[in-house]
Chains A and B, each alone.
Chain A
Amino acid sequence: MTSASGRPVVPPRAPAPPAGPPVLATRDFHLYYGPVHALKGVSLEVLERSVTAVIGPSGCGKSTLLRTFNRMNDLIPGVRTEGQILFGSIDILDRGTDVVELRRRVGMVFQRPNPFPKSIFENVAFGLRMLGLKNRGELEARIEQSLRRAALWEEVKDRLDRSALQLSGGQQQRMCIARCLAIEPEVILMDEPASALDPTATARIEELILDLKAAYTIVIVTHNMQQAARISDRTAFMLDGKLVEVDDTTALFTNPRQKLTEEYITGRFG
């Protein structure tokens, strides 16, 4: 095929195939905080072993959406929902759902690192002990594995019995990630995991996320859209409780389909 000038026209590169089947999905999902309609008919798929970023201005509902995936919104009084949240093929809103098991398989990392006032060892061991693991040797092995996966082992291997509160902010956050990894989740939800950290610590967390996605499905809420651009495979843009657009990250940041998305990412909002 040649253009008018006689030069060959090379067809545009086909988009990379999605990372895997959807692990999580919301179907026409609504959420109300009392009378406030916080999520409006959100239908979003999260693909396996990929990083999905959710961006949008404050109050758009992104953290609320994140918390639906492990039913953390149950802990807020007055919450009412409609629609489905699927984990695999199961609707996690069904009455019979084992919420504790759900929260093991769908782990969460929060904005402010929240180490327990215990040693590093006991922090990471906590979830494992709750699951009934008693054998010291196996505990140690699992803890080392988790700390290695969280890129923290080399820094703490000689002081596992020291208090986790003595770690720097960035180290505490990586320890929280290790704590989450120890109980072998399939999905990791991250709510602004680096916004309380300095730029160097942030960069380390971002590199860690890029490494982790080989084995885990990650959903990250961030107010920093440059961060979303750097580390995510797919980006979802939310505004006022609605999902405006979700697409391959490069496509969304170079050629968004919706005018609202273009206005937001070019900083023309408000």
Chain B
Amino acid sequence: MVRHFEQDLDALRGLVLQMGGAAEAIVQKSVEALKRRDAALCKEVIADDRMLDRMEIDIEERCVSLLARQQPMAGDLRFITAALKISNDLERVGDHAVNIAENAQRLAAEPPLKPLVDIPRMADLASGMLREALDAFVRGDAHRARKLCERDDLVDDLNDQLFRELLTYMIEKPENVTRAMELILVARNLERVADLATNVAEEVVFIAEARIIKHNVEEMVSGQRRDEDFGRT
């Protein structure tokens, strides 16, 4: 007997996954727009973000309705509250992609400053982390979720590296400043996308293990037991 509530939970799970796929795609598209200097693609990114906004609202309404109507307990309760937070994180991914598209639009109007190397690498890492986080979400795999947080350091390192490189461009010639700043902002937005992916991973650990691991990277990586079991003193 498949309970009606189970069907509602499955539908919610499917929506979160769909939204995750859309968030991953929008990040890739925004960086593609940057690489190709493609104004039309930038406009698509903005339209795609609106779809993410709508999905967030849909998920929020469903979660509130499920909380009101089903009085979910235990894993179901953790899943629904986590889905609320994950949809919020994914919506913000969309906003960062829009920022990147806007940077790209401005950069397309000027000659390129330098070949893009670190930014595409950051984009691949960040969208890869999103994909991993959503995979972990589907499988309820806390171990996988914890592992992906290690990659956040790689993204941070690339961001710092790019910042130092662009600084030298700016010091060299004042006319480089505008374009260099745009690229710094692109990198910053990608770094934020990676952070949001780790947020999603933290929610996955909460769903699977009822452990709150945010704000504590070392514990996350080592997976050490702490007195953070939810609800227990």
How many Å lie between the Cα of A8 and that of B71 in the bound state?
32
How many Å lie between the Cα of A8 and that of B48 in the bound state?
12
Quick check: A230 and B3 within 8 Å, CB to CB?
A: no
Could you give, for residues 243-260 of chain A, a 1 whenever the CB lies within 8 Å of some chain B CB and a 0 otherwise?
000000110011000000
- Partner of A229 from the list B50, B53, B61, B71 (CB cut-off 8 Å) is B71
How many Å lie between the Cα of A45 and that of B54 in the bound state?
33
How many Å lie between the Cα of A230 and that of B3 in the bound state?
12
Given the contacts A7-B53, A8-B50, A13-B61, A229 and B69 also touching, CB distance less than 8 Å: yes
How many Å lie between the Cα of A204 and that of B68 in the bound state?
21
Could you give, for residues 47-74 of chain B, a 1 whenever the CB lies within 8 Å of some chain A CB and a 0 otherwise?
0001001100110010011001111000
Quick check: A210 and B68 within 8 Å, CB to CB?
A: no
Quick check: B3 and A207 within 8 Å, CB to CB?
A: yes
How many Å lie between the Cα of A210 and that of B7 in the bound state?
13
Considering only CB atoms and an 8 Å cut-off, how many residues of chain A contact the other chain?
A: 15
Interface residues on B, range: 10 to 19
Residue B215, interface by CB 8 Å: no
Residue A58, interface by CB 8 Å: no
Which B residue's beta carbon lies closest to that of A7? B53
Which A residue's beta carbon lies closest to that of B61? A13
Which A residue's beta carbon lies closest to that of B58? A13
Which residues of chain A are near B4, meaning CB under 8 Å? 207, 210
- Partner of B69 from the list A7, A13, A207, A249 (CB cut-off 8 Å) is A249
Which B residue's beta carbon lies closest to that of A252? B68
Minimum distance in angstroms from B87 CB to a CB of chain A: 14
Residue B109, interface by CB 8 Å: no
Quick check: B54 and A10 within 8 Å, CB to CB?
A: yes
Which residues of chain A are near B1, meaning CB under 8 Å? 204, 207
Which residues of chain A are near B95, meaning CB under 8 Å? 7
Quick check: A253 and B3 within 8 Å, CB to CB?
A: no
How many Å lie between the Cα of A253 and that of B58 in the bound state?
18
Could you give, for residues 31-58 of chain B, a 1 whenever the CB lies within 8 Å of some chain A CB and a 0 otherwise?
0000000000000000000100110011
Given the contacts A13-B61, A210-B4, A253 and B53 also touching, CB distance less than 8 Å: no
Residue A114, interface by CB 8 Å: no
Residue A195, interface by CB 8 Å: no
Which residues of chain B are near A204, meaning CB under 8 Å? 1
Which A residue's beta carbon lies closest to that of B54? A10
Which residues of chain A are near B58, meaning CB under 8 Å? 13
Quick check: B70 and A254 within 8 Å, CB to CB?
A: no
Which residues of chain B are near A13, meaning CB under 8 Å? 57-58, 61
Within 8 A of A (CB), among B192-232: none
Which residues of chain A are near B64, meaning CB under 8 Å? 254
Quick check: B68 and A229 within 8 Å, CB to CB?
A: yes
Which B residue's beta carbon lies closest to that of A151? B1
Q: Which of A8, A204, A210 has the most CB of B within 10 A?
A: A8
How many Å lie between the Cα of A204 and that of B54 in the bound state?
35
How many Å lie between the Cα of A248 and that of B55 in the bound state?
23
23 contacts between A and B (CB under 8 A): A7-B53, A7-B95, A8-B53, A10-B54, A13-B57, A13-B58, A13-B61, A203-B3, A204-B1, A207-B1, A207-B3, A210-B4, A226-B71, A229-B68, A229-B69, A229-B71, A230-B70, A249-B69, A250-B65, A250-B69, A253-B69, A254-B64, A254-B68
Known: A8-B50, A229-B71. 13 other contacts (CB 8 A): A7-B95, A10-B53, A10-B54, A204-B1, A207-B4, A210-B4, A229-B68, A230-B71, A249-B69, A250-B68, A253-B69, A254-B64, A254-B68
Give B contacts to A, CB under 8 Å. Answer: 1, 3-5, 50, 53-54, 57-58, 61, 64-65, 68-71, 95
